[in-house]
Amino acid sequence: MVNDVFKSMEDKMKTTAKAFHADLATIRTGHATPALVEHIKVDYAGVPTPLIQLAGISAPEARMVIIQPWDKSCIHAIEKAILKSELGINPSNDGNIIRLAIPPLSEERRKELTKVVSHKVEERRVSLRNLRHEALNELKMMEKDKSISQDDNKRAQIQVQKITDAFIAEIEKLGKDKERELLEV
């Protein structure tokens, strides 16, 4: 029973860590990567659709992203969505493909982005703590229902804390790595 609580909490924390990793990939550094634009929602036939479902996205050079729509009629909608996004990049369109030239980040923008990363790390820490709180409540209920002893509950709480600490360390490491990447010139 206690193992079920651990398993459930670990699965949720792994999901949180994966989502955080994907979230960090969308923060622009000086390098081009398809992850910068995959998540952008494009108004396609009145339905907000992720760009990845509408086009092939590649990064053939270190500072260039190429978007090749499968349906040429949506090229202007894609361009509009990119302009509306937080990327701050002007797309160039030749009628068949869209090119995004990734300019180098200014020092000021780099510092802004490191603050964004720090904020996102703190949000994930809070969500991990909330998951820990849920697990501790489940353990408390088990003890109250007499399905586990008080000693088992204490041991389980220590294990829950160890798991939480490990995931918080992972989140912080990902955040530090991203900050280091942002501050590289």
Strands, E assignment, 6-156: 41-44, 47-50, 55-61, 64-69, 92-93, 98-101
User: What percentage of the chain carries pLDDT values higher than 90?
Assistant: 45
- Rounded to two decimals, the pTM is 0.72
Q: What is the pLDDT of residues 122-178, one digit of tens each?
A: 999 999 999 999 999 999 999 999 899 999 999 999 999 999 999 999 999 999 999
CATH code, 12: 1.10.132.20
> Which of these three, 53, 81, 101, is where a domain ends?
101
Torsion of CA 149, 153, 154, 156, to 10 degrees: 130
> Which of these three, 101, 129, 157, is where a domain ends?
101
For residues 121 and 61, membership in a common domain is answered with no
- Are the C-beta atoms of 179 and 39 separated by less than 8 Å? no
DSSP type of residue 106: P
Residue 52 one-letter amino acid: I
Residue 27 pLDDT grade (very low, low, confident, very high; cuts 50, 70, 90): confident
Number of domains in the chain: 2
Domain hosting 57: range is 34-101
Which has the closest alpha carbon to 54: 94, 91, 81? Answer: 81
For residues 12 and 42, membership in a common domain is answered with no
> Which of these three, 101, 123, 144, is where a domain ends?
101
- Are the C-beta atoms of 43 and 31 separated by less than 8 Å? no
